[in-house]
Each structure stands twice: as C-alpha cells, then as structure tokens.
Amino acid sequence: MKSFMLTRKVCGLCCVYEFCLLCNLLDDGAVRLWRNYTSETREVFTAWKALSDMLPSTKGSGLVLQWEQQSGLLFASGDVKHILVWDSEKEMKVQEIATGADSCVTSLATDEAGRSLLVAGCGDGSVRLFDRRSPSGECVFSSHVMTLKEHKSWIVKVFVQTGRDGKIVSGSIDGQVKQWDPRFSESVKTTPTSPMMSALDVHPKANIFASGSPQQFIKVYNLSGQSLSTIRYHDGFMGQRIGPISCLAFHPYKAFLAAGSTDSYLSIYTLEKQKK
C-alpha cells in the first residue's frame, strides 16, 4: 500500500486508466492529476482550479467529482448552482451548466453510450437530467431536460447504466432506490432498503446494487428488488461488527465490493472463495 500526504482535505478520487493517472479533488476546489502515483517518483502531471465560488452552507455536499473515461472530461460541482465541465488535457473549461436548483449537487453521473446525458442528484431530493448537446450549455427545461421529483430527501447517489436502453438508478438517504427510464418523468421501479442509507453503489456490469447504513450493515440487491445478502460482521471466528458505512464502490468488472466505514476500516468483499 502506498500513501502520501497532501496539504488540503481530499474530497474525491478517481483513476484515469488510459494514462495511468490518479485524479484527486481538494476541498479548495483544486484538481490534481498525479503521474507515477504508486512510486516514490510521483509527480503532479497537471493541476487547475475546478471550482472557486463555493456557497457557504451548514450542511453541504462539499465538492462532487465525475470522470468520463472515453472523452477525458471532468465534471465538478457541489455547493454551487452550476456544473463545470473541464477538458482535462487542455485544462480548459468547455461548458458551464446551471442546475436550476436552490440546493447543492450531491452526486453526478454521465452516460457513455453516446446519449450526451448528464444526471445530477441534489440535496432537495430532485434528480436533474441535462442534454450536454444544448448549444448554450444552460439548464433549459425542454424535452431534453427534465427534473425527477419522486425522492423526498437528500440524494446519496445517481448512476447511469451503459447501453442505449440503460436506466438511471438513484438512491436517497431515506433508503428509497428508484430506477428511471430517461424518457419519462415517473420511475419504473422503487426498491425500499434500510430506513437510513449513507452509501450506495451500482455494479457497472452486473444487475446488482449495494446500500450501506450508519446502523452498521450492508445489503446487496438485484435490480429486480430482491435482497441477495446482508453483511454485518467482519470475517473470522471473532469477527467484529462492521462500523457505520460511509462509502461503497464496486469493481468495474469483477464481483468485488469495497466498503469504507467511520471506524477507519476499509473492507473488500467478493463472491469468490479465498484460498487458505
């Protein structure tokens, strides 16, 4: 395991696989791309200020980051009323999209199937869809832009399935996970999970999702709404109870689930049996 110290709080991380870079977003709005980040010769490949006009808030989302691998675009938002789109190679802002919301942006997701779809989850429970082909880049309420309003609380995560028929998956802090057809404003399925949800992730290839709770458990469901498993304890004869879940992440291809908790544990779960 490699680690190194930064002078600012890290608010987001993502891997740029094509160029073997690590991208991190700091709490001052700066973005840094690191080269050779697993060795002692690591260096900052490029850096720029992604956000500079954060709104003061007692309960905000901080900074929210989304990387689009195919285009090399970086999407940044958070406690602001817009979404900035950056060309990471040119370090240039290429689009600014007004959210039209009075609350912060809590999650971002993009569609890599050629539909130019951008989805933003917000603190007021709304899920907002944007067509990035709009000439002005502004949030214009038309047939290409809509607001989904069935959630009644803070959006924990939004996700866009791959493929032209891929659905939008969203989850709110009250445990409601909804699936949407991007063409319609009403959800096609709702799956109730735990009453308090602190983390959510959807597997990019398998039709499953996982929800984490501050009440110290993780539940895994399929997209049909069937509960597949519940994780409450660490492995071993004296396995202790897992801590309150703060984040979840599936492997992009394999059946691995990483879970972080507030007791400083990072756990990785798999369907495969480990060799003794």
Q: What is the DSSP string of 199-247?
A: EEEE-SSSSEEEEEETTTEEEEEETTS-EEEEE-B-SSTTPPBP--EEE
Q: Is the pLDDT of residue 3 over 50?
A: no
Residue pLDDT, tens place only, 78-134: 888 888 888 877 778 888 888 888 889 999 999 876 668 899 999 999 999 998 876
Q: Is the pLDDT of residue 239 over 60?
A: yes
User: So what's the pLDDT on residue 267?
Assistant: 82
- In angstroms, rounded to a whole number, what is the distance separating the alpha carbons of residues 153 and 173? 6
C-beta separation of 4 from 42 below 8 A: yes
User: So what's the pLDDT on residue 265?
Assistant: 78
Higher pLDDT, 22 or 247: 247
The model's pTM is 0.81
User: So what's the pLDDT on residue 237?
Assistant: 53
User: So what's the pLDDT on residue 28?
Assistant: 62
User: So what's the pLDDT on residue 258?
Assistant: 86
C-beta separation of 180 from 146 below 8 A: no
Q: Is the pLDDT of residue 139 over 70?
A: no
Tokens standing for residue 171: 């989850």
Question: What are the backbone dihedrals phi and psi of residue 192, each rounded to the nearest 5 degrees, phi first?
Answer: -80, 130
Residue pLDDT, tens place only, 201-221: 999 889 999 999 999 999 999
User: So what's the pLDDT on residue 16?
Assistant: 60
User: How buried is residue 247: exposed, middle or buried, by Cβ count under 10 Å (0-12/13-18/19+)?
Assistant: middle
Q: Is the pLDDT of residue 261 over 70?
A: yes
Name the pLDDT band for 39 (thresholds 50, 70, 90). Answer: low
